[in-house]
Amino acid sequence: MMNKVTALLTDTSNPASFASRTRRRRWDRLQNLFPDIAEMNVIDLGGVVTEWELLPTRPARLTVVNLYDQEPLRADTRVFVGDACALPHQLRDERFDLVFSNSVIDQVGGHHRRLDFVDGVRRLADRYWIQTAYRYFPLDAATLFPFQQQLPLRLRAEISQHWPIGFRHADSEHEAVLLNLSIEGLSRTALRAYFPEATILTERWAGLTKSLIAVKRD
């Protein structure tokens, strides 16, 4: 039963899931803000190749950086196994038309790692779209547990070990503590501090702020 609930909420391969519907709205917004995306050279930090295949309009060239290897499905796509906070050396001198990142900056492992991520974004392109889970949304984006971000660390670790819904799980207390230390949804003030030159957009669900997006178009 719990697996079915998780799939209905988080399975992006299911068009009817909450996650799929949210992402479709996000893609529509992205294309409205960057109408020339079909002509762009885009880099996705922490992305998934197959999700770009679902878009009605794809960039002319796509580079994906992720900790896990993926198969490029088209000739116009490159995949690098690497850290979004310490880019592969092949990319350090490249420039792109747009940096895209979805739910990564909140999972890189703390403030100093986020600073490295932000520095990499600025070196890669003048334009960017950086999305993050909102810290004060009532449901945690990964575990779907109510108000987990606001709980003491020890309780958050307990949830990661025993809560059956979502996809942030750990087998031991030590692993669970480290996992929760590495993930932190951002507030509007925090995201603006990292990207002071950006416009901060809001994604809402049921009238509540669900996530934030730092966008720079110039």
Are 14 and 20 spatial neighbours (Cβ–Cβ below 8 Å)?
yes
Write down the pLDDT at residue 171. Answer: 84
Write down the pLDDT at residue 2. Answer: 47
Write down the pLDDT at residue 217. Answer: 93
Write down the pLDDT at residue 69. Answer: 92
Write down the pLDDT at residue 21. Answer: 67
C-alpha separations of 45 from 23, 79, 87, 127, 189 in Å: 16, 10, 9, 14, 22
Closest CA relative to residue 117, chosen from 84, 83, 95: 84
Write down the pLDDT at residue 182. Answer: 84
Write down the pLDDT at residue 169. Answer: 77
Below-50 pLDDT ranges, the chain: 2
CATH of 2-135+184-216, one of 3.30.300.30, 3.40.50.150, 2.60.120.10, 3.40.50.2300: 3.40.50.150
Write down the pLDDT at residue 34. Answer: 95
The domain locations on the chain are: 2-135+184-216, 146-183
Write down the pLDDT at residue 64. Answer: 97
Write down the pLDDT at residue 146. Answer: 87
